[in-house]
Amino acid sequence: MIEEIGKIKLDLTHYPGEDLYCDGEIEDELLTIARDCSAVEYQRIIEERKSWEVLYHFSPLRENIVEWLPIGRKMKVLEVGSGCGAITGAFSRKAGEVTCVELSKKRSLINAYRHMDADNVTIHVGNFQDVEPDLPCDYDYICLIGVFEYAQAYIGSETPYEDFLKIIKKHLKPSGHIVIAIENKFGLKYWAGCREDHLGVYFAGIEDYPEGGVVRTFTKDGLLAIAKRCGFSETQMYYPYPDYKFMTTLYSDRRLPGRGELSDNERNFDRDRLQLFDEKRVFDSVIGEGRFPLFSNSYLLLLGPSLSEDYVKYSNDRKEAFQIKTLQKSSGFGPIIEKHPLSKAAETHIEDTVKAYEKLTERYRDSLLAVNEAKLERTADGKPYIRIKFLEGKTLEEILDERLEKGDVEGFQNLFDEYVKRISVGEEREIADYDIIFANIMVEQDNNGCYKLDNTWHLIDCEWTFERAIETKEIAFRAIYCYLLEDDKRNKLNVDLIMNKLEIGQTEAEQYRRQEMKFQKYVTGKRLSMAELREAINNGCYSLADICEGLKKRSDDDRIQIYENTGNGFREEQSFFPEEDGEQLIRSAEGLVEISVKIGRGRSALRIDPGSSACLIWVKQIVWNGQTIPLKGKHLQMNGFRIGEDVYAFPTEDPNITLSLWGLPGEEENHLQAVMEVTKMPMETIKHLQKRGLFS
């Protein structure tokens, strides 16, 4: 049975008649968006709804994980577990034929409605094991994006992952590729305090899933071992960053990240998280030890002949006119760098960038700042892209960091002075690169890996060049501003000294900061950045300091404090905390508190403070020297309200029970005993009940 949604075909031959899993009402919301809204509206809807689910299913960044694959119009793609179609659109635009397999009909409808103009997509609705025998065996690419970890849920065998891969392999062309995107069970974000993506439990993968379940993720070695057992001899591992869901950068073993590159780590869109350490610093340490592949947050495993793509960086969180991707490829002549437009509107930006290279080259022609070679090329279908010469060396940013780490302030200042001198050449000309930050300058080195001030420096990126004169000190200020923002370790830098060198006062500095904000909005347009979306969705990120402070506050809040009145009222200096590890105080997990303390002679009253938060207290017993004190008598006063038999509510952060000792028998050493059950409650809840007259 075939059902059509626009040009999309839904094959319901193996649909069991009902969806065997569902995420609830949110899927109805997603279906409404897909059916009633166009793709150009998705960003607005994401920002308005402030919902993880809407962001996850409709963000265009989801496509990045497969957009870079060299899929041609004559190729066939199989997408297993296509879900709501987050990446189906990328396949439909690149391939000649796309086959999707998805268990849920509702999710398949969402996919169909959002891509209803694609005439090359067929969605098979049903269990993969039922659909699989009907699939052909000539796919160029078979993609398992966020799917492989569930293999044991639908492959009932002792070796579900190997068996699943062997089944998939049967449908692949001899020269084809299988693409697996999956979380790394040892991903650094999990060590740092992110919950495991599938279970929402802290450290579940690191602890090897002690609670069981059907989901399993793997380390790099674990994935490669499975591939080897299935007969795959050609494998290529990629490392999506920050992870495969919203990838902005893709690394490989031929192009691993360098220190300082991995700074976008607060990505907890779906739930709150801990932050046990600074992930950027730990990534830098891991990279320095050569262990990044072990701790990459996600993997993309390519099974099949090696591809030339070594590195991809996406800049598609900008406004459409500036959305591009940067590729590094291997070739027989060494690495190649390319910049490609990701939209029709961005083609003009690509062409303008090449013109900027030419004009900047003229400006700096006779200086020691060389503009890297860039050439405008065209793809087979006529789209423009830039080919840039690949340069070896260290960035000025790396060298400046080395000077700071060694405490070489003079060396840092000399480099900065040289930087200002070189970028100032031709300052009066009506052409300037606003983005000459330290990371965009490559410094030539000799055979011993050393650099000299008279070596040529190369400007490696001219994307943000404007046909107007810009003062050197404004460009230099921005370079320092960006440098400091990216790493708080750089705060040891004496910024005042640099500002004085540049002759920039506070008023001018504030003007430049406002200019930087305007520039960022110029690049992104009205779009919220991913960092701003994370803030809008508002899942907490709690540091270790926050946790310790919270525990301390909670501990202080829970402490029982007893005040003694010797005739001058209740004072802090005449109070004490019963020892919890001795015989004075016994506390149970259920909130039961038993107090047994000695009180000297000469006290007129005692005050028991059961904590520092609003609460309910069931006073079971108060005994003075063996005499039970009536709770309704003249000897007891409370700043709470009676709500039941011996139960009191305290709508205050300073609840207390006062015991007057007038008329009670006294001795040289007196014995106070109290038994009560303390239950914390929100202040507003108690006040609400109080207003409704439920307290006596």
Q: What is d(CA 103, CA 258) in angstroms, rounded to the nearest whole number? A: 41
| 443 within some domain | yes
385 three-class SS: strand
The whole-angstrom separation of Cα 41 and Cα 35 is 12
Q: Quote the mean pLDDT of the chain.
A: 92
Q: Are residues 304 and 332 in the same domain?
A: no
Question: 629 and 508 in one domain?
Answer: no
pLDDT at 418: 94
Spatial contact of 472 and 432, defined as CB atoms under 8 Å apart: no
Q: Is pLDDT at 504 greater than 90 in this prediction? A: yes
- At 695 the pLDDT is 47
If asked whether residues 404 and 511 sit together in one domain, one would say yes
Please measure the distance between the N-terminal and C-terminal CA atoms of the chain and give it in whole angstroms. Answer: 69
Confidence band (pLDDT; 50, 70, 90) for 538? confident
Residue 324 pairs in a beta bridge with 315, 341
Domain co-membership, 498 together with 423: yes
User: Which 3-state string (H, E, C) describes 309-354?
Assistant: EEEEEEECCCCHHHCEEEEEECCCCCCEEEEEECCCCHHHHHHHHH
Q: Please, are residues 233 and 226 in contact by the beta-carbon 8 Å criterion?
A: no
The owner of tokens 């300073």 is: 654
**pLDDT class of 452 with cuts at 50, 70, 90:** low
Average of pLDDT values for 380-394?
92
Q: How many domains does the chain have?
A: 3
Give a yes or no: residue 651 inside a domain: yes
- Please say if the pLDDT value at position 602 is more than 90: no
User: Is residue 351 located within the same domain as residue 304?
Assistant: no
Q: What band does 567 get if pLDDT is binned at 50, 70 and 90?
A: confident
Amino acid letter at 259?
R
| Residue 575: domain span | 559-691
- Structure-token pair, residue 408: 């070489």
Q: Are strands 441-443 and 432-433 parallel, antiparallel or unpaired?
A: unpaired
Q: What digits encode the pLDDT tens for the residues 166-218?
A: 999 999 999 999 999 999 999 999 999 999 999 999 999 999 999 888 899 99
| 636 neighbors 606 (Cβ within 8 angstroms) | no
Higher pLDDT, 468 or 581: 468
For CA atoms 111, 112, 117, 120, the dihedral sign is: positive
Of residues 266, 289, 267, the one with CA closest to residue 278? 266
DSSP string, 67-124: HTS---TT-EEEEES-TT-TTHHHHHHH-SEEEEEES-HHHHHHHHHHTTT-TTEEEE
CA distance 257 to 489: 19
Average pLDDT (437-460) is 81
User: According to the 3-state scheme, what is the secondary structure of 166-220?
Assistant: HHHHCCEEEEEEEEEEEEECCCHHHHHCCECCCCCCECCCCCCCCCCCCCCCECH
Expressed in percent and rounded to 5, the helix, strand and coil fractions of the chain are: 35, 25, 40
CA distance 62 to 44: 16
pLDDT tens-digit series, residues 15-58 = 999 988 888 899 999 999 999 999 999 999 999 999 999 999 99
pLDDT at 582: 62
Q: What is the percent of the chain with per-residue pLDDT over 90, rounded to a whole number?
A: 72
- How high is the pLDDT of residue 691? 65
Residues 166, 41 share a domain: yes
For 123, 189, 201, 212, 216, the CA distances from 205, given in Å and listed in that order, are: 32, 11, 9, 10, 8
Report percent pLDDT > 70 for the chain. 96
Residue 70 is part of a domain; what is its CATH number? 3.40.50.150
Look at residue 520 and tell me if it is in a domain.
yes
Residues 216 and 120 in one domain: yes
* 354 and 494 housed in the same domain: yes
- What distance in Å separates the CA atoms of residue 638 and residue 650, rounded to the nearest whole number? 9
Could you tell me the pLDDT band of residue 642, with boundaries at 50, 70 and 90?
Answer: confident
Asked whether the beta carbons of 112 and 5 are under 8 A apart, the reply is yes
205: DSSP letter:
T
- Residue 471 falls inside a structural domain: yes
Contacts of 696 (CB under 8 A, 6+ apart): 641, 642, 643
pLDDT of residue 645: 85
Which residue reads 């169909």 in tokens? 112
Average pLDDT over every residue of 546-571: 76
Give the list of residues 6+ apart from residue 646 with CB closer than 8 angstroms, or none.
618, 619, 620, 631
Amino acid at 667: E
Greater model confidence, 347 or 214: 347
Q: Is 449 a residue whose pLDDT tops 70?
A: no
Domain membership of residue 201 (yes or no) is no
Q: pLDDT category, 485, cuts 50, 70, 90?
A: confident
Q: How are beta strands 432-433 and 541-543 bridged, if at all?
A: unpaired
Residues 411 and 477 in one domain: yes
Q: pLDDT: is 681 or 439 the higher one?
A: 439
Whether residue 322 contacts residue 307, with contact meaning beta carbons closer than 8 Å, is answered with no
Q: What confidence score (pLDDT) does residue 696 get? A: 44
Same domain flag for 403 and 470: yes
Boundary-marking domain end, from 480, 506, 526: 526
Mean predicted confidence (pLDDT) in 219-243? 97
Same domain, 385 and 520: yes
Q: Are 246 and 327 within one domain?
A: no
Instruction: Say if residue 409's pLDDT is above 80.
Output: yes
Is 53 part of any domain? yes
> Are the C-beta atoms of residues 173 and 140 closer than 8 Å to each other?
yes
